Amino acid sequence: MTATQNAQGVTVFDGSGQPSFVPCIPGKTSDSYHTIDELYDHRCLLFAAFMREYATGMFCKDRCWRSHQHHDGSHWGGWFIAGMDLPTGTITYHLPARMWDLLKGIPVRERAPEWDGHTPADVLKRLEAWLLA
């Protein structure tokens, strides 16, 4: 099942590709414990903490970076991109601009490295492979 969202709700696609629209406020949708917005904030803060810790390791500082621009000079207003080059592959996330200062000490690049085409699923695989190594 996949989903797309807009300000008025979420369109969910079942296994056969049939869409169903669910009216809601996407970021305020909850699993009864956390809203999507809260989970997203958790993810961003955990990634920032992980980056800062990883960057303190010997030989690792140059493997972390952040930039306001993608490799082609494009950017998302209100967001920046941060990445880590792990032995298992690069992982990147877009983080809200308000979190820029949380990555103090992480090298700033004028432009992010060229995106290797990784998907969210690839990031999970790369993280898990790195943890299991």
| CA distance linking residue 14 with residue 30, whole number of Å | 20
82 and 123 co-located in one domain: yes
Q: What is the pLDDT of residues 79-133, one digit of tens each?
A: 999 999 999 999 999 999 999 999 999 999 999 999 999 999 999 999 999 999 9
pLDDT at 1: 43
Same domain, 24 and 78: no
Same domain? For 26 and 43 the reply is no
User: Are 26 and 74 found together in one domain?
Assistant: no
Question: Do 82 and 127 reside in the same domain of the chain?
Answer: yes
What is the per-residue pLDDT for 16? 83
Regarding whether 103 and 67 lie in a shared domain, the answer is yes
Q: Which domain holds residue 16?
A: 1-30
Domain total in the chain: 2
pTM value is 0.75
Which range is least confidently modeled, 22-26, 62-66, 81-85, 109-113?
Answer: 22-26
Residues 24 and 40 in one domain: no
Rg (CA), the chain: 17
**Same domain (yes/no): 24, 61:** no
Q: Are residues 4 and 49 in the same domain?
A: no
Looking at the structure, tell me whether residues 98 and 128 fall in a common domain. yes
16 plus 78 within the same structural domain: no
Q: Per-residue confidence at 37, pLDDT binned at 50, 70, 90?
A: confident
